[in-house]
Structure 1
Amino acid sequence: MQSSNEDINEILLKSVEILPPLPDTIVKLNNYIEKSGSNIETNKVAEIISSDPLITAKLLKLANSPYYGFSREITTINQVITLLGIGNIKNLITADSIKDSFKVDLSPYGLDTSVFLNSCREEIFFIANWLNEEDRQLSYLLAPCALLLRLGMIIFANFLIQNNKDKEFLEYLKKTGLSDIKEAENKYLGVDHISFLGFLLHRWNFDESLVETICYIHTPHSASEKVKKSSYALSVIDHLFTPYNGSSPFNVKTAISLLEEANSQGISFNMHNFLAKLPPKAKENLNKN
C-alpha cells in the first residue's frame, strides 16, 4: 500500500507540470509588477489589461456586480484600478482565469457539482454582505481567496478520476462519515488540498498576503500580524461554507468563537454586524442545541 501511495504522489507532482498555463496577459502583468517594484504606473497596468478584451470585459462586469456595490457605473479599467488597487486586480483576474481552466466534477468527494458551485457563489456574496461596510479592503482581499479556496479539491477530484482512484477514495471518505477530508487526502494523495493549494499559489505568483491568508486558514492564531485578521475572517467563512456541513450548529458556533478569539487579541470585528449578516441557514442553526 505504501509503494502504491508513493507512486500516486509522484504522478500528482508530475501533473503540476502540465496544469493549464496562465494567459499571456496575466504573465505580462506579473512580469511588469515584479520588474517595476515601487515604480508601478497605473496607465501601464491598464494598458496591459486592456490589450485582452476577454479579461477587460470580465473585470468590468465584476466591478459592476452587486459584490462591490459601487454607487456609479464603472466603465474603464483605470477606474477599476483606482477603486480596487493593482494587487487586488492582479489576484482577481488570475484567480478567475485559473478557476475557469478546470472542469468541476466533485464526485470523488460525493458532492453534487451544482450544489457545490452554488455554495461557492453564496460564499463570495456573503463576504461582500458581511465586510463591504465594515472593512472594504479586507473584503477585496478575500474575494480571490474565496474563488480559489476549493480549487485544490477540484484539482484532486480531476486527478483521482483520471487515475481511476475516485471510487476507492469516496468509499474511504464515506467510512469516516465524510468527516475528515484532510485525513483521506493525505492517505491517498500525500497532501491535503489546502497545503497543495498554497504550493500552487506560490507557483502562480499570487501576492504573499493572499497565499499566507489561505495557508493559515486552519490556524489563524499562528498567522503573522500582517495577515492575522484576513486569516481569521477566511477561517470563519470556511466554517460557514465548508463542504458537507457548512453552517451546521457546531460550525456556526465555532465561527463566532473565532471572531471572539480575534477580538480578544485586539483584531477588530463587529460581532453585531456579523450576526446580522449570517446566511439564513446559519441563523437557523445558531439557536439549535
Structure 2
Amino acid sequence: MASDMNEILLQSVEVLPSLPDTISKLRKYIEESRSNLEINKIADIISSDPLMTTKLLRLANSPFYGFSREITSLNQVVSLLGIGNIINTIMADSIRDNFKIDVSPYGLNTKDFINKCSEETAFITDWLNEEDKKLSHFLVPCALILRLGIVIFSNFLIQNNKDAEFLEHLKKIDFRDLSLIENEFLGVDHISFLGFLLHRWNFDDILTETICFIRSPHAARNEVKKSAYALAVLDHLFMPHRNFSVFNVKASIALIEEAKTQGVKFNLDNFISKLPKQIREEIEKEKK
C-alpha cells in the first residue's frame, strides 16, 4: 500500500503551487550582479509586488524577528535581514499561504496547530536573538515551513480517503512515532518529504540541509551543524502532540549538550531561562 500511495504522492507534487515571479526576478538579478548587489535594486524588485511588500513588512515587524524599532521600508528590511534571508522568508511565507490547513488526519485541532506553529517561530527569536542574531534570523523561515509536510500529508490523505484509517493507526501507538505511520501509509516521513520539496523549489542549500538533518544534526556538514541542532531542539520542544513535555525538554537539553561535543556551542542557561516557568521548576526539582 505504501509504495502505491508514495507513487500517487509524488505525482501530486506536480500540481503543488509554483513560486512567485518576484523570486525568479530576485534570483536572476543576484546571478547577473554577483558581488555588485544593490539594496535599492533588491527593494525595487520586491516593491513591484504590493502584496509581497506588505507581507514582508508585516513579518519584519512581527515578534519573529524581535527588532527594537519599527521597520518602515523595504530598504531597512533588506539591510537588516540580508538578501538570502529575504528570499527564504518570501518563499516560505508564499508557500505556506498556498495551502489549505486541515490537520485532522493527525488528530490535531487546526486552530491550535496554527497557533503552535507561530509559537515555534517566536521561540526561535526569544531563545537566540541575543545569543546569535544571525542564526535567529536564518531560522525564522525554517520554522515557518517546518510543519508544512504535515499539512501536505493531511491534504493528501483527505483527498484519497485515507485520513480516518491513518488517524486510527496513530491512535494505536498513542501518537508516539509519526514517522512510523507516515512511512507505513505513504512510504516517506513528513520531514524527508519536505526536504525533497525544498530541493525541488530551489531553496538555498543551507536551509534545505538544516531541515533534512533535523533528525541527525551530528551528521550535517560543519556549515549546517549549528542551524540543524537549533532546529532539532525546536522540533523536540514543539512536537505536534507533546509540545513542552518534560521528556521532550530533557531531549532538547541533551541535544544542546551533544552539540557541544560536535564543536557547536549554545548557552544552556539562556535556553532554560526561555522555557515556560512550570517546566523550569520541574527541571530544577529533579536537579536537587
- Give TM-score, length-normalised by structure 2: 0.95
Shift of 1:117: 1.0
Shift of 1:104: 0.7
- The separation in 1 between residues aligned to 2:270 and 2:60, in whole angstroms, is 24
Query: What is the identity, as a one-letter code, of the residue corresponding to 1:13?
Result: L
Q: How many residues align?
A: 286
1:198 aligns with 2:199: no
1:272 aligns with 2:286: no
Shift of 1:147: 0.6
CA contact (8 A) 2:78 2:86 kept: yes
- The separation in 2 between residues aligned to 1:52 and 1:17, in whole angstroms, is 25
Query: What is the identity, as a one-letter code, of the residue corresponding to 1:147?
Result: L
Query: What is the identity, as a one-letter code, of the residue corresponding to 2:42?
Result: V
1:32 aligns with 2:18: no
Query: What is the identity, as a one-letter code, of the residue corresponding to 2:251?
Result: T
Partner of 2:153: 156
- The separation in 1 between residues aligned to 2:167 and 2:34, in whole angstroms, is 46
Deviations 1:134-176 (A, max 9, x none): 0000101110111110000100000000000101111111111
1:258 aligns with 2:255: yes
**Residue 158 of structure 2: SS of its match in structure 1?**
helix
- The separation in 2 between residues aligned to 1:172 and 1:255, in whole angstroms, is 27
- The separation in 2 between residues aligned to 1:206 and 1:278, in whole angstroms, is 31
Partner of 2:88: 91
- The separation in 1 between residues aligned to 2:146 and 2:118, in whole angstroms, is 12
| Paired residues for 1:21-170 under 5 Å | 21-170=18-167
Partner of 1:209: 206
Shift of 1:242: 0.9
Shift of 1:41: 2.8
Partner of 1:7: 4
CA contact (8 A) 1:64 1:70 kept: yes
Change beyond 3 A, Cα 1:284–1:33: farther
After superposition, the CA RMSD in angstroms is 1.6
Query: What is the identity, as a one-letter code, of the residue corresponding to 1:92?
Result: T
- The separation in 2 between residues aligned to 1:107 and 1:285, in whole angstroms, is 32
- The separation in 2 between residues aligned to 1:268 and 1:24, in whole angstroms, is 39
Deviations 1:185-239 (A, max 9, x none): 1111111111100010011111111011101101111111001011111111111
Change beyond 3 A, Cα 1:240–1:285: farther
CA contact (8 A) 1:240 1:282 kept: no
Consecutive unaligned residues in structure 1, runs of 5 or more? none
CA contact (8 A) 1:248 1:285 kept: no
Partner of 1:233: 230
Q: Percent identity?
A: 65
Partner of 2:171: 174
Greater shift, 261-270 or 138-147, is seen at 261-270
CA contact (8 A) 1:247 1:285 kept: no
**Residue 243 of structure 2: SS of its match in structure 1?**
coil
- The separation in 2 between residues aligned to 1:122 and 1:147, in whole angstroms, is 10
**Residue 268 of structure 1: SS of its match in structure 2?**
coil
Change beyond 3 A, Cα 1:279–1:125: farther
Deviations 1:6-61 (A, max 9, x none): 32211111100000111221222233334444343322211110100111111111
- The separation in 1 between residues aligned to 2:282 and 2:162, in whole angstroms, is 35
Partner of 1:248: 245
- The separation in 2 between residues aligned to 1:284 and 1:54, in whole angstroms, is 44
